[in-house]
Chains A and B, each alone.
Chain A
């Protein structure tokens, strides 16, 4: 026998008794409580979370919609049935639109229907919960496998890098490992977001900055002004890889010989564009052509920018380098 908690809300004590008796037969192990006024409802809901709510619509001290909101606030998974004599289609539609699982007209010959309705609503809610739990379990397992497999890929890359006699080839492999890591950080943001098709790019940028430039230690002071910016996956991935290239360039070229410096990273929402800018006060020189990864990095950035119709502008000056990626809204 299943245990569940049922709350019956109605002004009329006779109706509450009838409903209690009916639901008590349907759910013999249930804990059933009732409320006929505001004070009784407040006492009942204090620390007690019903699985099923049966409420009248027209109460002297409230109405069924308000009761629904109040119960759902503390027990979001509670299933809900409106049981009312104020029978008209408008109220039925209003109740269902508001989220009630069912609506039963209050007549003595409808009590069996009320019990069946509560039973179905409870089973549906439990099925939904089981489905959500299974989904979470699958996602958790996929997430774990993905991260482990990416770690194996990076381990292989890094071990191959070590075995390479050529410094340029080693640099290319290290860059490749960084690019994979940048994608993984983005994956992590997608996992954290409730909508797997969209991500807070601002949060991602903070994470990427911490991972890449933060690893340079105290010699680089990093300032971030990053607005929370929700982007779809097909934009976030290319823009994330561009951000990775920009930061990698700073690490490799802006501050040679462990020179200290500052990096400013901004993500702004302007009227017609989302603008990512990365500014450093390093040597401000363009990396020599043919230097490890530099040529490929730039070409990747241009290609990725064209994919999302973004404009990339890089200004090299004696006081440092400023890169601005402008993404039309």
Chain B
């Protein structure tokens, strides 16, 4: 098994962010953030040291998670979405960024744990 990952968490709902952070930390990884805006997420991605980004799509501020995914991809950082925006057009735009997974809220925590396990093996 590879080393624990540094995972950027981008989620604007505080309770959901805490819940996801708990799952990530229980899986042995380090949470960077959580942050609630795309702009904050970009700053952290550009600062380096992120192994994986977990992105909500609808965020506070002007940017959305799909735009953040674009920056992550450009820097070679894998990402996955956890979002309540499961309508076909949003989902298609999100999948076009080639995420590791798209978890629709309310997501299954076992599936997130599995995605994290796979990400750790691939890193």
What is the bound-complex CA distance between A153 and B110, given in angstroms?
17
B66 to A: closest C-beta gap in Å? 14
Total count of chain A residues near the partner, CB < 8 A: 30
* B89: nearest chain-A partner, CB-CB: A140
Q: Is B4 an interface residue (CB 8 A)?
A: no
The 8 A CB mask of B87-107 against A (1 = contact, 0 = none) is: 100100000000000001111
Which of chain A's residues have a CB closer than 8 A to the CB of B13?
Answer: 148, 151-152, 155
Task: Indicate if the CB atoms of B109 and A158 lie closer than 8 Å.
Answer: yes
* B56: nearest chain-A partner, CB-CB: A148
Task: Indicate if the CB atoms of A188 and B104 lie closer than 8 Å.
Answer: yes
Task: Indicate if the CB atoms of A147 and B84 lie closer than 8 Å.
Answer: yes
User: A159: which of B22, B87, B110, B111 is its contact (CB, 8 Å)?
Assistant: B22
Given contacts A151-B84, A162-B22, contact A211 B15 (CB under 8 A): no
Task: Indicate if the CB atoms of B85 and A153 lie closer than 8 Å.
Answer: no
Q: Is B46 an interface residue (CB 8 A)?
A: no
Task: Indicate if the CB atoms of B86 and A159 lie closer than 8 Å.
Answer: no
**Which of A141-199 touch B at CB < 8 Å?**
143-148, 150-156, 158-159, 162, 177, 180-181, 184, 188, 191
Which of chain A's residues have a CB closer than 8 A to the CB of B104?
Answer: 147, 184, 188
User: A188: which of B18, B19, B86 is its contact (CB, 8 Å)?
Assistant: B86
**Which of A61-84 touch B at CB < 8 Å?**
none
What is the bound-complex CA distance between A148 and B82, given in angstroms?
10
Task: Indicate if the CB atoms of A152 and B87 lie closer than 8 Å.
Answer: no
Task: Indicate if the CB atoms of A152 and B15 lie closer than 8 Å.
Answer: yes
What is the bound-complex CA distance between A297 and B104, given in angstroms?
25
* A183: nearest chain-B partner, CB-CB: B106
The 8 A CB mask of B10-41 against A (1 = contact, 0 = none) is: 00010110110010000000000000000000
* B111: nearest chain-A partner, CB-CB: A215
Task: Indicate if the CB atoms of A148 and B114 lie closer than 8 Å.
Answer: no
What is the bound-complex CA distance between A214 and B108, given in angstroms?
11
User: B18: which of A155, A184, A215, A217 is its contact (CB, 8 Å)?
Assistant: A155
Task: Indicate if the CB atoms of A159 and B108 lie closer than 8 Å.
Answer: no
Which of chain A's residues have a CB closer than 8 A to the CB of B90?
Answer: 140
What is the bound-complex CA distance between A162 and B111, given in angstroms?
18
Task: Indicate if the CB atoms of B84 and A153 lie closer than 8 Å.
Answer: no
Which of chain A's residues have a CB closer than 8 A to the CB of B18?
Answer: 155, 159
Task: Indicate if the CB atoms of A156 and B15 lie closer than 8 Å.
Answer: yes
Which of A140, A155, A159, A216 gathers the greatest number of chain B CB atoms within 10 Å?
Answer: A155
* A174: nearest chain-B partner, CB-CB: B109
User: A215: which of B58, B86, B114 is its contact (CB, 8 Å)?
Assistant: B114
What is the bound-complex CA distance between A158 and B106, given in angstroms?
12
Task: Indicate if the CB atoms of A147 and B106 lie closer than 8 Å.
Answer: yes
Residue numbers of B with Cβ under 8 A of A are 13, 15-16, 18-19, 22, 58, 84-87, 90, 104-111, 114
What are 19 A-B interface contacts by the 8 Å CB criterion? Answer: A143-B87, A146-B84, A147-B86, A147-B106, A148-B58, A151-B16, A151-B105, A151-B106, A154-B106, A155-B13, A158-B22, A159-B18, A180-B106, A181-B108, A184-B104, A211-B108, A211-B111, A212-B108, A215-B114
Residue numbers of A with Cβ under 8 A of B are 139-140, 143-148, 150-156, 158-159, 162, 177, 180-181, 184, 188, 191, 211-212, 214-217
